[in-house]
Amino acid sequence: MNFITGKHIDRRLLLRGAGAVIGLPLLDAMRPALAAPAKVARNARRIGVVYVPNGIVMKDWKSPDAKTFARIMKPLEPMREHVTAISNLANHAAVKAKGGGHAKASGSLLSGALPKYTAGADVRAGITFDQIAAKQFAAETRVSSLQLGCEDARMVGNCDTGSSCAYTNTLSWKDADTPLAVEVNPRSVFERLFGTVDPSLPADVRARRAMYRKSILDQTRENTTKLVSELGAEDRRKMDEYLTGVREVEARIQAAEKDPLIPPIEKPSGIPFEYSAYVKLMFDLQVIAFQSDLSRVSTMMLGREGSVRTYPEIGVPDPHHPLTHHRGHPDFIEKVTKINEFHVSLFAYFVKRLKETNDGDGSLLDYSAILYGAGLSDGNAHSNYDLPLVVAGHAGGIKGGQFIEAPEQTPIANLFVNMLNGAGVEAKAFADSTGVLSLG
């Protein structure tokens, strides 16, 4: 039982130091037993999207009986009760739009708007559903939303048969004319969450400044020590777990910056050499952002659409995108399936971390809705129908442990309406939605 100190802490309190701030996890002191109901802190709701490029081998993705996970989904088996698989949703905007198949897929998925066919600066699509949530949460969080990626952050140029890189290399759009570039360097994400280094500065300038900065925790030590001394035993335990997590992420970033295997010209500092370590570090940053309520919205691309990343660590040294145009070749299909499995295993790590992280009377997963999937189903055909999608978490009453088969060609926007309302953002419709897809 937590010791009641009589001290009430505001949910939005930030610990400040020289050039650094730290948000706090949800503590019992933020909703003390004797507080008036109007002052009791409620659990924040989070929305996340994890995107995989180039489609998925659907025969090994879809459940054969709406009861068991197929091969690609197997890594999620331990989290089954927290995962909802959804079939038959479609992105009609990508079907109708002109331009490259990959650019249309990622460029319209979260907005339901037709991307303008251009490779110039005059890009246009539509506000994405995550940014609607971000705008509502902006006044309550330090970072309104995170846009993360693990590959190629260019926003200009021709990336897919006359379609701009802005469509293939990011998911989130602030409005119809403003795509939000992904951040690929974990160090920059950490600085954005906890530091005051201007992310618009050139990378070399930021790196030099970072060299002279102490640990985030060291900078805020005085204020942290004072706060912890005033907390009850249970809250002190929560703070210890949280600060330990921050320190571990910071240490991993620092180790990556010193890794001699990382070519300094090709990779920005702070990016781990191994892809799996890179992805997990980016997931851990999102967990900390959610736990501390520094941000409630995130999107992450495991690879840019049209990605040619190779995966020698799982026995696939071939570039990803060409493999997906397999034309029925069994060896190619098997290699794509291995990549798909690998991606899901990394997502399973994220789901497990959210489940293991306490948040008030539950876990972060209880108050999150994290969409995982692709903007293409069959990558060989560039199909935008029956998209491979799962939602992890229970925000807004999502039941979990379900296989939901929607009517064929149901707009994916119906799912976004559900996720927005589940996060406390009132939405009767979005894009081409025809209703609300029930996940309860």
More confident call, 360 vs 84: 84
Q: Does residue 222 contact residue 17 with C-beta atoms inside 8 Å?
A: yes
Phi, psi dihedrals of residue 142, rounded to the nearest 5°: -75, -40
CATH of the domain at 63: 3.40.720
Within-domain flag for 55: yes
Mean pLDDT for 283-303 is: 95
| Residue 134 domain-assigned (yes or no) | yes
% of the chain residues with pLDDT over 90: 68
Examine the pLDDT at 110 and tell me if it is beyond 80. Answer: yes
pLDDT(203) > 80: no
Instruction: Summarize the confidence of residues 142-152 as an average pLDDT.
Output: 94
Q: Would the pLDDT of 196 be above 70?
A: no
| Phi/psi at 214 (5° precision) | -80, 175
Q: Are 301 and 276 in contact (CB under 8 A)?
A: no
For residues 202 and 171, which has the higher predicted lDDT (pLDDT)?
171
One-letter amino acid for residue 154 of the chain: R
Range 307-328 average pLDDT: 97
Average pLDDT for residues 120-146, to the nearest whole number?
A: 96
Mean pLDDT of 190-215: 64
pLDDT exceeds 50 at position 41: no
Q: What is the largest CA-CA distance in the chain?
A: 68
**What pTM does this model have?**
0.85
Q: How confident is the model at residue 8 (pLDDT cuts 50, 70, 90)?
A: low
154-164: average pLDDT: 95
**Sequential DSSP letters for 182-219:** PB--HHHHHHHHHB---TTS-HHHHHHHHHT---HHHH
Q: What is the structure's pLDDT at 263?
A: 40
Average pLDDT over residues 49-62: 98
Task: For residue 209, tell me if it sits in a domain.
Answer: no
Q: Are strands 158-160 and 163-164 parallel, antiparallel or unpaired?
A: antiparallel
**Pairing of β 46-51 and β 368-373:** parallel
Is 328 inside a domain boundary?
yes
Give the closest residue to 149 by CA, choosing from 256, 278, 328, 314: 278
Q: Could you tell me if residue 246 is inside a domain?
A: no
**Model pLDDT, residue 328:** 92
Distance CA 223, CA 257 (A): 28
Q: Domain range spanning residue 75? A: 47-184+271-422
Query: Is the pLDDT score of 306 beyond 80?
Result: yes
* Identity at 358, one-letter amino acid code: N
CB atoms within 10 A of CB 140: 12
Distance CA 194, CA 22 (A): 6
Is 215 within a domain? no
- CA distance to 330, 333, 341, 373, 386, per residue, from 326 (Å): 8, 6, 17, 20, 19
Bridge-based pairing of strands 20-22 and 15-17 is antiparallel
The string of DSSP letters for 365-429 reads GGGEEEEEE-S-SSTTTT--SS--EEEES-GGG---SEEEEEEEEEETHHHHHHHHHHTT---S-
- Return d(Cα 247, Cα 385) in angstroms, integer: 43
303 inside domain: yes
Q: Confirm whether 208 is domain-assigned.
A: no
- When divided into structural domains, the chain yields a total of 1
Residue 325: is its pLDDT beyond 90? yes
